[in-house]
Amino acid sequence: MLRYFIPDAFYDSIYDIDIAEIKRSGIRGLICDIDNTLVPYEQAEPTGQVSNWIKSVRDAGIEISFVSNNGANRVDLFNRSMGFFASSSSGKPSRRQLRAAMTAMKTEPGNTAIVGDQIFTDIVAGKRLGLHCILVKPIKENMTVFFMLKRLLEKPFILIYNIKKNRKKEQR
C-alpha cells in the first residue's frame, strides 16, 4: 500500500530532471501534470522556459502528453500551440487518462514516466500503473486550507522517500 505514495524521484522543479538519464533508463513517454508542475494556475499558456523544456524532452526522443484534473478550457488553451495529447478533468488518481495518454504516445507502463506536484493524484495514479513517478515541488503553493492539509498529509511520504534515497546513497 505504502509504495503507491512514494515517488521514484523528487526534484525542486521539472528543470532538475535529467532528461538524458531518463532516456538512458528507457523512458520514451512523459505524462505531465500542468498546474503547479509546468506553470502556476494563473498562467494560461506555456512560458518560454516551459516551451524550451518541452522541446528538449522531445529532442531527446521522448513523447509528451498532458493529463490534468483541471477543466477543458484551461487544458485546451495551454496545449493550443503544441497539439499534444491533452486530457482535462482526468480524475487522477484514476488510471483511465494515463492509459489514454500512453496509447496516444505509443508507450507502455514500463517505458513511461509521469511528473506532477501532488502525491495523492499524480504519483498515486502513476504508481497504480507502474510508471516511473517523478514528484516536483509545486511552483506556487496554494494557500487554501484544503491544500495546506494535503501538503501536510504528503509530508510523511516525502520523509520516507528521503530516507530511502539516503540509504541507497550509503549502499553505493
Point out which residues bind Mg ion (CB under 5 A): 33, 35-37, 117
Q: What angle do CA 135, 137, 139 make, to 5 degrees?
A: 130
**Minimum distance from residue 152 beta carbon to Mg ion (Å):** 17
Q: State which residue, 88 or 111, has the beta carbon closest to Mg ion.
A: 88
**Minimum distance from residue 106 beta carbon to Mg ion (Å):** 25
**Minimum distance from residue 139 beta carbon to Mg ion (Å):** 9
Q: State which residue, 37 or 112, has the beta carbon closest to Mg ion.
A: 37
Residue 37: closest CA among 128, 126, 157: 126
Q: State which residue, 23 or 150, has the beta carbon closest to Mg ion.
A: 150
Check: CB of residue 24 under 8 Å from CB of residue 60.
no
Nine-digit cell at 57? 524532452
Q: State which residue, 35 or 63, has the beta carbon closest to Mg ion.
A: 35
**Minimum distance from residue 5 beta carbon to Mg ion (Å):** 16
Strands (E), the chain: 9-11, 29-32, 63-67, 85-87, 112-116, 132-136
Check: CB of residue 78 under 8 Å from CB of residue 35.
no
Check: CB of residue 11 under 8 Å from CB of residue 18.
no
